[in-house]
Amino acid sequence: MSTKKNIPALPISKKLTIGLFGFGVVGKGLYEVLQSTPALQAGIKTICIKNADKKRSIPAEHFTTDPRAILEDEEINVVVELIDDADAAYSIVKEALQKGKAVVSANKKMIAAHFEELLRLQFEHEAAFLYEGSCCASIPIIRNLEEYYDNDLLSSVKGIVNGSTNFILTKIFEEGLSFKDALLQAQQLGFAESNPALDIEGHDAANKLSILLAHGFGTITKPTEILYNGITPIKETDAEVAKQKNLQIKLVATARKINDTQLAAFVLPQFVAADDELANVNNEFNGLITESSFADKHFFKGRGAGAYPTAAAVLSDIAALRYNYKYEYKKYLQQSGISLTNDFYLKVFVSATDINLIEKDEFEWLEEWHNESNNSWVVGIIHAQKLFSGNWWKETGVSLILTENPIVENVDYRKIGKKSLALAGVL
Ligand SMILES: NC(=O)c1ccc[n+]([C@@H]2O[C@H](COP(=O)([O-])OP(=O)(O)OC[C@H]3O[C@@H](n4cnc5c(N)ncnc54)[C@H](OP(=O)(O)O)[C@@H]3O)[C@@H](O)[C@H]2O)c1
């Protein structure tokens, strides 16, 4: 005999009528994904785009260029915002929330820039705002940070959070493509932002890290308060050093609690050893490692860019709205009091086309020192605040790459002083 009739029915799910902003890589991907998931009973009523004259793959009657057609339509109870203009996206999302509509977005730049205000709007208007697709595309990391690690003591989150730079690094180092060709391929495949500087200069990864900090640790911070850089400075000679040491170079975002109240967070190119889980995260894939007191380590890997992987995360948010799911921002509201600090030390590799470009005085300690005609490099310990407030390491011809385990713990270099540099014969 079936026991099914004894099981209580699920709460009645809401009918979702969607107004979609954007019909580019992700918007079109979502449209197609929704076509193949009729069981969800979520239909797109109107699609708002920017250019009326662009050729589309579906009939023109679906489209409008007037945002009011969505925002003022009372039948539309879900706004899905998938456009590439962060300022316009902010106005759309703000107004939709003020009107009490649920909103789904993947726009990390907009979310990171206005996090606190968007949080307030959600509470004020009791409207859900979900954005799983904004961090690591297909990897369900935000909901995991929100829900799973709530009662566990999360100590760190680190990983590859930008699919297009990971794609570029893979193509350069494993297939020998030039930077320009690798970027072009990433753009053609829909992995890059419309403005690729957002990816290659590290802004996109910093935006994502700031969102992860809020959900992982309850720490709300502007991306500009995070120490970060992108992949443009990495030189061929750096790749050769990496190869000699059997290491890879990846753009890695890290957030690590350094004590009960302080958090180190940065996004920088990093050497990755062959036995690190991140070494096998290639092309447009993203990978994240979480560490927590009781669960120990978890490793998430999945496609970090592209039409369907990102649309899958958006779809999952839409599905969650049927059951009135909302982020609760528990860690932030509990005032866990964990704040960002740059008071820690990093072990870094710095190379330069001219030795004089390396600011030796900024280091606390130098472990390696190589001076060749057109490529010099050092490995040493530097205080993170010196990197945050200095710019010499971002100058043309200089690249800074973190070593495999970059945070140096349990040593107070302020006590050791500059003696080590003198011993190394550098000063
Ligand atoms: N691509 C990815 O792999 C990926 C992954 C994760 C997150 N995301 C995020 O998803 C969002 C969309 O990215 P995408 O790659 O799909 O961008 P895209 O391919 O460049 O498409 C952008 C779309 O936005 C529309 N648009 C721009 N400004 C508009 C405005 N003011 N009003 C209405 N529509 C407007 C464009 O209209 P027209 O068609 O008329 O030009 C276009 O359809 C971005 O926030 C991005 O950061 C993308």
Q: Which of 296-300, 306-310, 325-329, 333-337 is predicted least confidently?
A: 333-337
- Name the active-site residue from 28, 208, 257, 331: 208
Which pLDDT band holds residue 419 (cuts at 50, 70, 90)? very low
The hierarchical CATH code for the domain 8-134 is 3.40.50.720
In the chain, how long is the greatest CA-to-CA distance?
84
Q: Which residues of 304-341 are buried (b: 16+ CB within 10 A; e: fewer)?
A: bbbbbbbbbbbbbbbbbbbeebbbebebbeeeeebebe
Q: Which residues pair with 351 in a beta bridge?
A: 377, 399
- Two tokens, residue 331: 């860690």
pLDDT at residue 411, rounded to an integer:
67
Active site residue 394: no
pLDDT at residue 424, rounded to an integer:
47
Give me the residue label for tokens 């530097």.
382
Which of 53, 55, 82 should be mutated for ligand 1, with most atoms under 8 A from CB?
82
Which of 25, 166, 199 should be mutated for ligand 1, with most atoms under 8 A from CB?
25
Minimal CA–CA distance to 96: which of 112, 116, 120, 80? 80
Mean pLDDT of 83-103: 98
Any residues with Cβ below 6 Å from ligand 1, and which?
21-27, 48-51, 54, 82-85, 88, 106-108, 133, 137, 190-191, 193-194, 305-306, 310
Minimal CA–CA distance to 363: which of 377, 266, 375? 377
Which pLDDT band holds residue 5 (cuts at 50, 70, 90)? low
Distances 74 to 15, 38, 122 between C-alpha atoms, Å: 13, 23, 18
Minimal CA–CA distance to 167: which of 200, 134, 195, 132? 200
Minimal CA–CA distance to 129: which of 117, 144, 147? 117
pLDDT at residue 356 tops 60: yes
What separation in Å is there between the alpha carbon of 167 and the centre of ligand 1?
20
pLDDT at residue 11 tops 80: no
pLDDT at residue 151, rounded to an integer:
65
Which one of 3.30.300, 3.30.70, 3.30.1460, 3.30.200 gives the CATH number of domain 345-423? 3.30.70
Which pLDDT band holds residue 192 (cuts at 50, 70, 90)? confident
What separation in Å is there between the alpha carbon of 23 and the centre of ligand 1?
7
Residue spans of the domains in the chain: they are 8-134, 345-423
**How buried is residue 413: exposed, middle or buried, by Cβ count under 10 Å (0-12/13-18/19+)?**
middle
Strand order in the sheet with 102-105: 63-64, 42-48, 16-21, 78-81, 102-105, 129-130
Beta strand 285-292 with 296-303 is antiparallel
What's the chain's average pLDDT? 92
